[in-house]
């Protein structure tokens, strides 16, 4: 399996380079003169010129890219023009917050989605299945900000069971940390759980109609044996793919949830950065998130080897 | 095709003698009651959007501060917002923005993704490798983050937001079209056409495109649902449709502050969004079932 | 329950199965009646789509509802009515009293587990064997079905075995609990010709050794001629003829059987091919009267209006044809 992992990692290098090109290339999408944009409306000629030379905007594109990439590899992603704070510092400070949120959201969506999908798929056509399927159809259609707002309203404000805004660090107070994260994580998790449930159900249905499950049934094995051993292991393959996809989605949606619940993570800062035209922060975020997703996909790919022994030899 | 080999959970497909493919599609589609309902709902929404000036009881932009936060009643059917604007009228006009914006975004995605996907899938070779790598790279960045980034550098307005969403969705369409083109390419009837001397472009147009249309149509329906959601998200953050114009996302964004006291301002656009996206998804699933049966079972 | 000599191992009576289609529930097999006796091999023959696999699966209780259901009839194994058993009871029967070997060895074994694990699992389930005992017996079974180096093969994954070996492994799984009846659904269709012969020989040998009965489902007349004691011929969801194998080939009594025999290409190059004109009717557009009459060269007017019953024209000989006593049909093997 190690060799499989190493091979996958090698294939990923051109992809990572492209991601970095996209991240850096955002700069060239800025209409007009980037220096003017970044400097803002009220800047003087000198300030604009200063920014231009500070950011090296007067050099050829490929040199700028190389510089930026070189800095990035060493951990320097530039500075936010307004605050003057280093981008990497900002991201580093906010990273644990966002990761906690994502961790909880992922755990919830898997814990809700896989069992729900398994039951629905195993008892295909039953009332329970139809109910769950309808639920997932609706769940997939509900935008995260709607579920976030509804949860915040009903559970947070009207019922006051859990706090509706804010964030408390784990080291400060673990219980409060969990309480503050629960609603936002649940809001994030709902759509993900629906997707995972759907894919699990489809996977179970597809597998349970495979010939080898037919053989298992014809051998008189019990439900637990047929479902547990023969069906689940094989059905998990597409589910792993979906879980991997969810991680990507969750990263994106966390931006919205952080806004609504006032959580000081990477995403909420991104929204402000967009309003402020803080290009270095935007680039840095895109680069880092892109790398993270690529890494997750590689991990998912390698995990196939466990579920499908044939892949190990490939 | 044996009856007992039907895909599980579905009634076995039956080819009635003398039935044209179009008739068969309609026969199957009509049986999918949910999809038919979804199509009906979408037609209603589209009509409401088109005839908004005729249907909406009031001007969506007109403010009336004396009626600020009016409760639902005979004058303001769904109540009014902070500036006294009628929620129902804004909802109806919002349909215009949301649907138009979604259509724009999907158009961008189609123009970018479909031709490249067809080419990559059919011609393969280095072009395919490069194009697929680019698609993978774009797909590695979460949709919302990339969309925000693009809007961030282009400037926050509706058109830029739609271009951003279109760019973000293009690789997904690329992949679907490419996949369909590849599987069609493997079909032996392509070899047969080639063996009879038909040129590549004619093959592409005559054989590949029609067979790619089925999955493409399904994807477009799903893409429209996605685009409505994406537009709502971007406008919610204030980066899409700009006030005083109001799409459903804008309405949501402006209503968040009054979540506790006037929840209906949040619920009305939310329900509109959820139902519309649900309708697009259900329609897409229904189309998928009605269109691809023979291909899947073969 | 000790079987009495006269009771056949398997008795199927007037079985009917329906499946759901776009145009509603449709009868897929109708009025299936036959029996399998002690230590005999019964061939169930017919073209693709005639319902023989459905019949086999109905016997095993593997028809999932939806999309199918058994609507009529009785299936008795050693006198015990299977259709009245609930799922739990049926699970005890499957794999233990009656076992099935399927057509596609490539896909009928779970790719995620070793061959040994899958055999052991069945032994532990039905016989309560310990892990070690089950593993030892699995190796023994693999040897019995002719797999070389069984103590190494037992830990192989299915993809490491050839098609023929996989089929042998499947046979080992089916026979692990020494069932009374083995149902083999086209066991050799997916295999190369040379391997086919080996597998058939293996089955015959094991049948002798284990004193069991075999229901062989196939579309291949050659296989039937070599291995079966008696034959049941099916067409478009119905049984059309039942007979001892030798008599069936020498003197067929149903026009369809005769036509099937005629289809067999002769060994002489100058003999013309004689296919049966027309197509098998789909169950949702059946002809009136006898299902075969549109394609039958002996059809008369009455054939289009009367549905012929399956009647016994001689001891052990049933035919579904109103002209069965008048027709003189030619067979093969003269």
Segments making up each domain of chain A, as ranges: 2-73, 87-313
Q: B15 pLDDT exceeds 80? A: no
CB A267 within 8 A of CB B144: no
Angle in degrees, 0-180, between the axes of helices B209-236 and A144-151, rounded to the nearest 10: 40
CATH code: domain A87-313 is 1.10.3720.10
Return the bridge partners of C94, or none.
C98
Strand order in the sheet with C10-21: C24-36, C10-21, C68-77, C80-81
Window 268-297 of B: residues touching A by CB (8 A cutoff) are: 270, 273-274, 277-278, 281-282
Nearest residue on chain B to C236, alpha-carbon basis: B2
Enumerate the residues of chain B whose CB falls inside 8 A of the CB of residue A18: 133-134, 136-137
Mean pLDDT of B128-133: 90
Mean pLDDT of B274-297: 75
What is the Cα–Cα distance from A257 to A265, expressed in whole angstroms? 10
Query: Is A220 within 8 Å of C110 when comparing Cβ atoms?
Result: no
Query: Is A274 within 8 Å of B134 when comparing Cβ atoms?
Result: no
What is the Cα–Cα distance from A79 to C266, expressed in whole angstroms? 87
More confident residue, B262 or A282: A282
What is the Cα–Cα distance from A156 to A175, expressed in whole angstroms? 16
Q: Cα distance from A87 to chain B (closest Cα, Å)?
A: 15
Enumerate the residues of chain A whose CB falls inside 8 A of the CB of residue B151: 274
Nearest residue on chain C to A219, alpha-carbon basis: C95
Q: Cα distance from A233 to chain C (closest Cα, Å)?
A: 7
Return the bridge partners of C316, or none.
none
Domains of chain C by range and CATH? 4-234 (3.40.50.300), 236-319 (no CATH)
Q: B185 pLDDT exceeds 80? A: no
pLDDT tens digits, residue range B35-71?
888 999 999 999 988 888 887 777 777 777 777 777 7
Mean pLDDT of B69-74: 75
Q: Cα distance from A304 to chain C (closest Cα, Å)?
A: 12
DSSP string of C270-283, one letter each residue: TSPP-PPSS-PPPT
What is the Cα–Cα distance from C303 to C254, expressed in whole angstroms? 13
Q: Choose among B57, B198, B181, B74: nearest CA to B127.
A: B181
| Chain A CB within 8 Å of residue B80 CB | no
Subunits in contact with chain B (3 or more CB pairs closer than 8 Å): A, C
Mean pLDDT of B145-154: 87
Query: Is A222 within 8 Å of C111 when comparing Cβ atoms?
Result: no
What does the pLDDT read at residue B217?
Answer: 86
**B204 pLDDT band (50/70/90 cuts)?**
low
Enumerate the residues of chain C whose CB falls inside 8 A of the CB of residue B23: none
Enumerate the residues of chain C whose CB falls inside 8 A of the CB of residue A216: 110
Strand runs labelled E in chain C: 10-21, 24-36, 41-45, 68-77, 80-81, 98-101, 181-185, 213-218, 230-235, 238-244, 311-314, 317-319
Q: A312 pLDDT exceeds 60? A: no
- Which member of C20, C48, C49 has the closest CB to residue B12? C20
CB A38 within 8 A of CB A27: no
Q: What single-letter DSSP state applies at residue A156?
A: I
CB C81 within 8 A of CB C75: yes
Residue among B4, B5, B24 with most chain C CBs within 10 A, to mutate? B4
What does the pLDDT read at residue C3?
Answer: 47
Does the ipTM surpass 0.85?
A: no
Q: A144 pLDDT exceeds 80? A: yes
Q: B158 pLDDT exceeds 50? A: yes
Q: Choose among C187, C249, C184: nearest CA to C216.
A: C184
DSSP string of chain B, one letter each residue: --GGGSPTTSPBP---TT--HHHHHHHHHHH-HHHHHHHHHHHHHHHHHHTHHHH-SS-TT---GGGTTPPSSSSSTT-B-TT--BHHHHHHHHHHHHHHHHHHHHHHHHHHHHHHHHHHHHH-HHHHHHHHHHHHHHHTS-HHHHHHHHHHHH-SSHHHHHHHHHHHHHHHHHHHHHHHHHHHHHSHHHHHHHHTT--HHHHIIIIIHHHHHHHHHHHHHHHHHHHHHHHHHHHHTTSSSPTTS--HHHHHHHHGGGTTT-THHHHHHHHHHHHHHHHHHHHHHHHHHHHSHHHHH-
Enumerate the residues of chain B whose CB falls inside 8 A of the CB of residue C26: 3, 12
Cis peptide before B214 (omega within 30 of 0): no
Subunits in contact with chain A (3 or more CB pairs closer than 8 Å): B, C
- Which member of A31, A253, A282 has the closest CB to residue B144? A253
Enumerate the residues of chain A whose CB falls inside 8 A of the CB of residue B142: 248-249, 251-253, 289, 293
Residues of C with CB under 8 A from a CB of B: 19-23, 26, 28, 48-49, 53-54, 66-68, 282-285
Q: Choose among B174, B153, B205: nearest CA to B108.
A: B174
What is the Cα–Cα distance from A219 to A217, expressed in whole angstroms? 5
Query: Is C94 within 8 Å of A234 when comparing Cβ atoms?
Result: no
What is the Cα–Cα distance from A167 to A182, expressed in whole angstroms? 10
Inter-chain CB pairs, B–C, below 8 Å: 42
Residue among A218, A225, A228, A309 with most chain C CBs within 10 A, to mutate? A218
What is the Cα–Cα distance from C238 to C256, expressed in whole angstroms? 12
What does the pLDDT read at residue B3?
Answer: 61
What is the Cα–Cα distance from A49 to C140, expressed in whole angstroms? 86
Over the range C227-259, which residues count as b (16 or more CB within 10 Å of their CB) and which as e? Answer: bbbbbbbbbbbbbbbbbebebbbebbbbbbbbb
Enumerate the residues of chain A whose CB falls inside 8 A of the CB of residue C95: 218-221
Window 167-196 of A: residues touching B by CB (8 A cutoff) are: none
Window 8-27 of B: residues touching A by CB (8 A cutoff) are: 8-9
Nearest residue on chain A to C64, alpha-carbon basis: A209
Q: Choose among B190, B185, B181, B187: nearest CA to B132.
A: B181
Least confident of A79-83, A91-95, C209-213: A79-83
What is the Cα–Cα distance from A301 to A241, expressed in whole angstroms? 8
Enumerate the residues of chain B whose CB falls inside 8 A of the CB of residue C23: 14
Count other Cβ atoms within 10 Å, centred on residue A18: 21
pLDDT tens digits, residue range A5-32?
777 777 788 888 888 888 888 877 777 6
Q: Cα distance from C280 to chain B (closest Cα, Å)?
A: 11
Nearest residue on chain B to A297, alpha-carbon basis: B140
Mean pLDDT of B101-112: 93
| Chain A CB within 8 Å of residue B43 CB | no
Mean pLDDT of A290-313: 76
More confident residue, B141 or B76: B141
Q: Cα distance from C19 to chain A (closest Cα, Å)?
A: 15
The pLDDT mean for chain B works out to 81
Highest mean predicted confidence (pLDDT) among B2-11, B212-221, C12-21: C12-21
- Which member of A215, A217, A222 has the closest CB to residue C109? A215
Nearest residue on chain C to B4, alpha-carbon basis: C19
- Which member of A125, A212, A307 has the closest CB to residue C108? A212
What does the pLDDT read at residue C135?
Answer: 92
| Mean pLDDT, contiguous 10-residue spans, chain C (334 residues) | 66 91 85 91 89 91 83 91 90 91 87 88 89 92 90 90 89 92 88 84 88 91 89 92 91 89 71 75 83 87 87 88 84 64
Which tokens go with B153? 């550098």
């Amino acid at each position: 399996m190690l060799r499989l992992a190493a091979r996958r990692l090698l294939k990923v290098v051109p992809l990572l380079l492209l991601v970095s090109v996209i991240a850096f290339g955002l700069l060239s999408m800025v209409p007009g003169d980037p220096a003017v944009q970044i400097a803002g409306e009220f800047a003087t000629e000198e300030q604009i010129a200063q920014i231009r030379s500070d950011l090296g905007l007067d050099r050829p594109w490929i040199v700028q890219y190389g510089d930026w990439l070189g800095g990035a590899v060493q951990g320097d992603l530039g500075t936010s023009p307004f605050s003057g704070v280093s981008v990497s510092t900002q991201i580093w400070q906010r990273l644990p917050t966002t990761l906690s949120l994502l961790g909880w959201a992922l755990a919830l969506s898997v814990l809700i989605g896989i069992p729900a999908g398994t039951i629905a798929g195993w008892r295909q056509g039953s009332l329970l299945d139809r109910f769950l399927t309808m639920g997932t159809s609706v769940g997939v259609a509900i935008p995260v900000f709607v579920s976030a707002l509804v949860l915040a309203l009903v559970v947070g404000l009207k019922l006051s069971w859990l706090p509706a805004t804010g964030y408390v660090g784990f080291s400060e107070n673990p219980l409060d940390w969990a309480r503050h994260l629960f609603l936002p994580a649940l809001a994030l998790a709902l759509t993900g759980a629906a997707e995972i449930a759907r894919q699990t159900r489809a996977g179970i249905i597809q597998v349970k109609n495979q010939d080898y499950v037919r053989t298992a049934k014809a051998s008189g094995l019990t439900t637990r044996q047929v479902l547990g051993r023969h069906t689940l292991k094989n059905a998990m393959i597409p589910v792993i793919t979906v879980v991997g996809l969810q991680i990507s989605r969750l990263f994106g949606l966390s931006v919205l949830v952080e806004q609504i619940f006032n959580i000081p993570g990477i995403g909420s800062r991104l929204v402000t950065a967009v309003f402020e035209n803080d290009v270095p922060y935007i680039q840095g975020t895109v680069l880092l998130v892109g790398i993270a997703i690529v890494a997750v996909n590689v991990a998912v790919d390698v995990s196939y080897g466990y579920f499908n022994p044939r892949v190990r030899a490939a | 095709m044996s009856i007992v080999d039907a895909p599980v959970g579905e009634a076995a497909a039956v080819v009635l003698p003398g039935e044209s493919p179009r008739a068969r599609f309609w026969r199957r589609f009509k049986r999918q009651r949910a999809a038919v309902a979804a199509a009906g709902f979408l037609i209603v929404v589209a009509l409401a959007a088109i005839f908004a000036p005729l249907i909406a009881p009031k001007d969506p932009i007109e403010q009336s501060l004396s009626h600020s936060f009016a409760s639902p009643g005979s004058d303001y059917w769904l109540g009014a917002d902070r500036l006294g604007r009628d929620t129902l009228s804004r909802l109806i006009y919002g349909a215009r923005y949301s649907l138009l914006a979604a259509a724009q975004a999907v158009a961008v995605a189609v123009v970018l993704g479909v031709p490249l996907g067809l080419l990559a899938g059919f011609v393969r070779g280095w072009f395919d490798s490069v194009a697929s790598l680019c698609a993978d790279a774009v797909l590695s960045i979460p949709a919302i983050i990339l969309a925000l980034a693009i809007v961030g550098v282009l400037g926050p307005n509706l058109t830029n937001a739609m271009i951003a969403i279109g760019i973000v969705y293009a690789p997904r369409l690329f992949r679907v079209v490419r996949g369909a083109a590849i599987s069609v390419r493997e079909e032996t009837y392509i070899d047969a056409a080639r063996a009879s001397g038909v040129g590549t472009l004619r093959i592409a147009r005559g054989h590949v495109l029609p067979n790619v249309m089925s999955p493409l149509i399904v994807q477009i329906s799903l893409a429209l649902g996605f685009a409505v959601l994406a537009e709502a998200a971007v406008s919610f953050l204030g980066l899409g449709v700009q006030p005083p114009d109001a799409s459903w996302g804008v309405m949501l964004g402006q209503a968040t502050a009054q979540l506790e006291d006037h929840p209906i301002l949040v619920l009305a656009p939310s329900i509109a969004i959820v139902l519309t996206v649900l309708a697009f998804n259900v329609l897409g699933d229904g189309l998928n079932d009605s269109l691809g049966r023979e291909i899947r079972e073969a | 329950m000790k079987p009495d000599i006269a009771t056949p191992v398997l008795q199927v009576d007037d079985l009917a199965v329906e499946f759901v289609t776009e145009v509603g529930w449709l009868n897929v097999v109708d009025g299936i009646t036959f029996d399998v006796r002690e230590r005999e091999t019964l061939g169930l023959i017919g073209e693709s789509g005639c319902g023989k696999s459905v019949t086999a699966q109905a016997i095993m209780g593997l028809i999932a509802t939806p999309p199918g259901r058994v609507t009529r009839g009785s299936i008795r194994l050693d006198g015990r009515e299977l259709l009245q058993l609930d799922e739990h009871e049926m699970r005890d029967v499957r794999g233990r009293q009656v076992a099935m070997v399927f057509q596609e060895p490539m896909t009928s074994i779970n790719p995620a587990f070793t061959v040994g694990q899958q055999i052991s699992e069945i032994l532990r389930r039905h016989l309560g064997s310990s892990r070690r005992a089950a593993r030892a017996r699995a190796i023994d079974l693999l040897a019995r079905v002719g797999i070389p180096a069984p103590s190494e093969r037992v830990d192989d994954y299915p993809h490491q075995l050839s098609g023929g070996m996989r089929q042998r492994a499947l046979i080992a799984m089916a026979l692990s609990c020494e069932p009374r009846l083995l149902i083999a659904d086209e066991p050799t269709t997916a295999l190369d010709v040379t391997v086919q012969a080996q597998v058939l020989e293996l089955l015959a040998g094991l049948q002798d050794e284990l004193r069991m009965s075999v229901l062989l489902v196939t579309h291949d007349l050659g296989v039937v001629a070599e291995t079966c004691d008696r034959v049941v011929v099916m067409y478009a969801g119905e049984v059309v003829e039942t007979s001892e194998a030798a008599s069936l080939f020498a003197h067929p009594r149903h026009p369809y059987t005769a036509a099937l025999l005629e289809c067999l290409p002769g060994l002489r190059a100058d003999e013309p091919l004689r296919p049966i004109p027309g197509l098998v009717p789909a169950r949702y557009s059946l002809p009136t009267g006898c299902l075969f009459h549109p394609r039958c060269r002996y059809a008369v007017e009455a054939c289009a209006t009367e549905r012929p019953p399956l009647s016994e024209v001689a001891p052990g000989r049933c035919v579904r044809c109103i002209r069965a006593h008048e027709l003189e049909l030619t067979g093969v093997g003269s």
